[in-house]
């Protein structure tokens, strides 16, 4: 029997994952847009033998964690702005060797060709260390930034996501692995017979031409899915290699594991084809310091 080994991902925004973490005396919130600090975090995670650096992302100002669009003087949240993950990870990949990068991107507000191009490029730059965390976006605030009159409902978002991933994978297959010959003597830079256009016409997308980036080193960058809904679990069963989840009890976690693994067979996949990575928050503090740390909470954030 093969030895099983745990996979560890670090969810490390440049401020803090904890809602009030940026107020800790040793926190460095002034460095939240410092590439040097982001590199320091990534190198620390890599030295700690973490497998991946994960970043969430959105396409609108994040008014969660106590911030309020309608009362901007509140200003409690450290999540309102942040780096675009693919850009950040391209820089970090140049100074790391082993840690993988899970970058979040939306299937509702992006386009398959542009996304396929970004992630294929990052996979080449990082030498095969790229993963795409697929989200459909839950923030209705985002619709205002992309000319939508309303945020699409969940059914539409997940239908679009299914076709979106299909198109992206077709684009990543635009070139065979050995399509580029670099044959100086005969003047053949590439073998034209090994280029394949997706020629996709569907309900949501019409994408005809080949991707103008060679096939990613991994073939397909790793697909990660974090949806907890039935639609999200179904999307993971069809496409994902990793699903991120967060249950509050062992019984719920086991039930989720069994349920989502049970969905793979209909797609011709083995249960081991999908890894389940539950989220966990670790708090390290002496009880002596607990009262002073709790005072860092805003009452609004604590609600």
Which CATH number goes with the domain that contains 140?
3.20.20.30
Assess if residue 154 is contained within a domain.
Answer: yes
Q: What is the pLDDT of residue 166?
A: 99
- In this predicted model, what pLDDT tens digit does every residue of 52-107 receive, in sequence order? 999 999 988 877 655 455 555 466 677 778 899 999 999 999 999 999 999 999 99
Is the residue at 3 inside a domain?
no
Boundaries of domain holding 145: 9-302
Structural domain tally of the chain? 1
Looking at the domain assignment, is residue 90 inside a domain?
yes
Q: Are 253 and 247 in contact (CB under 8 A)?
A: yes
44 three-class SS: helix
In a domain, 2, yes or no: no
Asked if the structure places residue 242 within a domain, the reply is yes
- Residue 1 lies inside a defined structural domain of this protein: no
Query: 283-297 pLDDT, tens per residue?
Result: 766 666 667 666 666
Say if 233 falls within a structural domain. Answer: yes
pLDDT tens column, 142-184: 999 999 889 999 999 999 999 999 999 999 999 999 999 999 9
Note whether 165 and 134 are within 8 A (CB): yes
User: According to the model, what pLDDT value does residue 303 have?
Assistant: 46
Rounded to the nearest angstrom, the gap between the alpha carbon of residue 241 and the centroid of all alpha carbons in its chain is 12
- What is the rounded average pLDDT of the residues 208-221? 98
Residue 210 belongs to some domain of the structure: yes
CB 90, CB 118: distance < 8 Å: no
Distance of alpha carbon 187 from alpha carbon 295, whole angstroms: 70
What separation, in Å, do the N-terminal and C-terminal C-alpha atoms of the chain show?
Answer: 48
């Amino acid at each position: 029997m093969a030895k099983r080994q745990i996979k560890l991902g670090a969810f490390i925004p440049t401020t803090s994952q904890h809602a009030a973490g940026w107020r800790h005396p040793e926190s460095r919130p002034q460095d939240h847009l410092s590439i040097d600090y982001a590199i320091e975090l990534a190198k620390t995670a890599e030295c700690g033998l973490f497998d991946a650096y994960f970043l969430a992302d959105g396409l609108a100002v994040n008014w969660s964690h106590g911030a309020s669009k309608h009362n901007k003087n509140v200003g409690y949240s450290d999540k309102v702005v942040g780096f675009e993950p693919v850009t950040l990870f391209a820089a970090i990949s140049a100074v790391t060797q082993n840690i993988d990068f899970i970058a979040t991107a939306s299937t509702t507000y992006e386009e398959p060709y542009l996304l396929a191009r970004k992630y294929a490029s990052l996979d080449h730059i990082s030498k095969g260390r790229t993963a795409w965390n697929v989200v459909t976006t839950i923030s209705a605030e985002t619709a205002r930034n992309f000319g939508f009159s309303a945020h699409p409902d969940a059914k539409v978002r997940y239908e679009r996501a299914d076709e979106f991933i299909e198109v992206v994978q077709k684009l990543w297959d635009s070139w065979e692995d050995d399509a580029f010959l670099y044959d100086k003597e005969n003047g053949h830079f590439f073998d034209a017979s090994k280029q394949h256009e997706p020629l996709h016409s569907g309900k949501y997308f019409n994408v005809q031409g080949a991707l103008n980036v060679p096939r990613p080193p991994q073939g397909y960058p790793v697909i990660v899915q974090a949806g907890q809904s039935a639609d999200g679990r179904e999307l993971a069963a069809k496409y994902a290699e990793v699903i991120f989840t967060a249950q509050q009890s062992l019984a719920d976690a086991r039930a989720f594991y069994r349920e989502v693994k049970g969905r793979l067979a209909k797609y011709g996949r083995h249960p081991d084809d999908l890894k389940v990575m539950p989220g966990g928050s670790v708090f390290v503090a002496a009880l002596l310091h607990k009262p002073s740390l709790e005072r860092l909470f805003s009452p609004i954030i604590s609600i």
